[in-house]
Every structure is written in C-alpha cells, then in structure tokens.
Amino acid sequence: MRISSLLENQKVEKRIAITPDIAKKYLSLGFDLALSENYGVHLGINDKEYKDCGVKIIKDNNELINNSDLILQLGLLSDDNLSLLKGNQNIIGVFDTYKNKDKLEKFAKNKINFFSLELLPRITRAQSMDILSSQANLAGYKAVIESFSLFEKAIPMMMTAAGTVPAAKILVIGAGVAGLQAIATAKRMGAIVFATDVRISSKEQVESLGGKFLTVEGEENLETEGGYAKEASENFKKKQEELLSETLKKIDIVICTALIPGKKAPVIIKENMINNMQPGSVIYDLAAIQGGNAAFTKVDQIVDKNGIRIVGETNILNKLPVSASSLYAKNLFNFVVNLYDKENKKININLEDEIIEKTLIK
C-alpha cells in the first residue's frame, strides 16, 4: 500500500504531515511512501533526507495522487487535486468540516473516504492522535510571545532605584488547551494572569497554574460530554459581559482562544468594552479564522482602535512550523496505525471503532 503527501499551499500552510523520523516508521510497517518534490525544503529538510530513508520523491501531483491508497495532509486539497481522486482512496487531515461540508459530502458519495481529525472523540484511546491538543498547546504559547512583542512595556514587575515597573495584567479568554498554555507561559514570564471560561471544570485548572479565574455569578456548566465548550444562554452572556467590562479596564493584554466546534466563534469582547480599555493594550485573537472573539477582529490584520491593537491570526502555527509539524506527524501516524490492518495489509474502516466512526465524513 502506498501513502502519499502533497506539499501544501505555502501561502496558507507551512506545516507538513510527514517528517523524516515518521517516514521511517511508515516504511517499517511495510508501506510504500511517496512525497511531492521539495516537500520539506522550507523547513530545512531536503529531498535527499527523505530519499535516504527510502521515500520516493515525485514531481507530478497527478502521478502522486493516482498511485496513492492513503493521502496524508494538513488541509483540504485544492480543487484541481481533488478532481484527480478516485473511489476507495483514503485521505486524512484537518478539513474544516463546517466550512467545507458540501464539498466533502459530495466526494464521500463517490466512495472517497475523508477522515477529519478535528472530529476526534475526546477519549483516552484517542489522546495520542489528538491534533487539537498538540497544536493548540503550541498556539497558546506562541500567542503570548507574539502579544508580548507588540506590548510596549515590560511584562514582569521590576524594582529599580529609579522606581518600580508594575507587572503586566493578562486576561485569557477560554481555558482549553491553548488558553491553559497561554496562562502558564504568561505566568512564567512574570505577568499577573486572569482567565475566564464557560466550563466550570476550568476553574481548578486555571488556579493550579497560578491564574485568577473570573467567576460569573450563578454560572452554568457549559461543557459537552466530549469536553468541549457549548454556547451560553443569553442570561449568562449578559452576566459575563458585565464582569468583563469592569475587568478589561485594568487589563494590558487579552489572549482570545474561545471556540465552539463547528460554529462561528462567540464575540465576547464587545465594542463598548474595547472603548474602556487603556491605550497601548493588545488583544490577540486566535479565534479570528472563525470570526473572532473580539469586535473589530480582522483575519491577518492588526486593527488599531483608539490606541488598542487587535490582532487577528489565521494560522499562528505557521510561525512554529517545525515544532508543529513534528507533533502533527506523530498524531497522524498514531491514527494511521489504528486504521491499518497489519495482518491483511489493508485499511480497515471499522465503524464500530468510535475513533474511525466519528472522524469519517459520511
């Protein structure tokens, strides 16, 4: 069986799905492996490194796709490459099923199997495949670093003979994997950190990292069985808005990470709240690709509102592509191992396996 991976559109995605270390693992399982020419050059990995492992390098995408049983990607293939697919081929990646629903269902009807890894169930057995956690962890860390670079004051408290510089105050919106890593990183750098989330279970996690959890009076437990956040009631939103309005008056940097799977991101920081913030403050919005958590967020732009900068980030992992690729490739490998029937040397789409059943586009 042949596994292939095509080079992503470099303007959108710099991560890769197969690193040289992981390529060796696929080959050791008996797979044939083929990649696009210059597949990892932008990350400092030349084609020779792959060839030395036993990987075939193929220039023509048509040839690459036609001879593949299993295609591993980050995002959805271009329309031109999608048109080359044929029945019984299997494709694994992160396909933004909310945005690409119609397109994916159309190809699924043609017996092409798409497995979208953002749909993985949050169960113990799937932890080694959990791309949302591995990638969000890096995103939370990098968001803090990037926002600190834009903030024009020192982050930790500094006591000098000339006077004291106060510690920066950070607010993290959403205490999932990205949010928790943002809290931990900001604390390590000496900031005073606050956080808010609709999931009650987050309070203990936030406080264990040294953050102060902002509690909404009469809070609801807005957590799905799968551990994701769900939409809040209008009453909760109103109470949360009142709490945030007061808090934001003294906050220097806001890191936004709140997402609801398959839906537009909730707008949590409203225009009137931004107007009350201190000039020089920074809002770094990781939810920009799904609409953003802040009013005025624009994808891949820095919007200045009365001296407050609002940064919208499409794919912050393009700023950490080597680390992100390493983790993603390992997650993907673990998913393939679960999908592969070693004894019969074939892909086994066992719909009684929750991991496979939840990620397969039907």
* Residue 2 annotated among the catalytic residues of the structure: no
Both 169 and 198 in one domain: the answer is: yes
Catalytic residue (choose from 83, 127, 233, 301): 127
Both 89 and 235 in one domain: the answer is: no
Both 190 and 289 in one domain: the answer is: yes
Mean pLDDT along residues 163-190: 97
pLDDT at position 252 over 80: yes
Which residue type sits at 361?
Answer: I
Both 202 and 264 in one domain: the answer is: yes
Both 161 and 294 in one domain: the answer is: yes
In a domain, residue 127? The reply is no
Write out pLDDT tens, residues 116-137.
Answer: 999 999 899 999 999 999 999 9
Average pLDDT, the chain: 92
pLDDT at position 85 over 90: yes
Helix, strand, coil content of the chain in percent (nearest 5): 40, 20, 45
* Cα gap 255→268, rounded to integer Å: 12
In a domain, residue 272? The reply is yes
Catalytic residue (choose from 96, 228, 245, 353): 228
In a domain, residue 355? The reply is yes
Both 72 and 11 in one domain: the answer is: yes
Write out pLDDT tens, residues 26-53.
Answer: 999 999 999 999 999 999 999 999 999 9
Q: Which of 38, 295, 253 is nearest to 143 (CA)?
A: 253
In a domain, residue 275? The reply is yes
Both 78 and 140 in one domain: the answer is: no
pLDDT at 257: 95
Query: Which residues fall within 8 angstroms of residue 213, CB to CB, at 6 or more apart?
Result: 175, 194, 195, 196, 197, 202, 203, 206, 207
In a domain, residue 153? The reply is yes
For residue 63, what pLDDT band results from cuts at 50, 70 and 90? very high
* Residue 130 annotated among the catalytic residues of the structure: yes
Catalytic residue (choose from 2, 47, 69, 122): 122
Q: 290 or 321: whose pLDDT is higher?
A: 321
Residue 107 maps to which CATH number?
A: 3.40.50.720
* Cα gap 132→129, rounded to integer Å: 9
* Residue 228 annotated among the catalytic residues of the structure: yes
Both 211 and 257 in one domain: the answer is: yes
The two three-digit tokens of residue 189, written as one number? 């750098």
Write out pLDDT tens, residues 209-241.
Answer: 999 999 876 555 555 655 555 566 777 778 888
Write out pLDDT tens, residues 270-308.
Answer: 999 999 999 999 999 999 988 999 999 999 999 999 999
> pTM for the complete prediction?
0.89
Both 234 and 222 in one domain: the answer is: yes
pLDDT at 240: 80
* Residue 127 annotated among the catalytic residues of the structure: yes
Say if residues 257 and 288 touch (Cβ distance below 8 Å): no
Both 180 and 109 in one domain: the answer is: no
Both 178 and 294 in one domain: the answer is: yes
- 92 three-class SS: strand
In a domain, residue 302? The reply is yes
> What's the number of domains the chain is made of?
2
* Residue 125 annotated among the catalytic residues of the structure: no
In a domain, residue 188? The reply is yes
* Cα gap 257→139, rounded to integer Å: 9
Mean pLDDT along residues 150-166: 96
In a domain, residue 128? The reply is no
For residue 199, what pLDDT band results from cuts at 50, 70 and 90? confident
Both 238 and 279 in one domain: the answer is: yes
* Cα gap 283→277, rounded to integer Å: 10
pLDDT at 98: 77
Catalytic residue (choose from 4, 5, 133, 147): 133
Q: Domain of residue 82: give its range.
A: 2-119+321-359
pLDDT at 225: 57
Catalytic residue (choose from 4, 68, 89, 130): 130
* Cα gap 282→279, rounded to integer Å: 9
Final residue of a structural domain among 301, 318, 335: 318
For residue 247, what pLDDT band results from cuts at 50, 70 and 90? very high
Say if residues 335 and 129 touch (Cβ distance below 8 Å): yes
Say if residues 315 and 289 touch (Cβ distance below 8 Å): yes
For the chain, what percent of residues have pLDDT higher than 90? 79
Q: 218 or 342: whose pLDDT is higher?
A: 342
Lowest mean pLDDT of 23-32, 167-176, 258-267, 338-347, name the range.
258-267
pLDDT at 351: 94
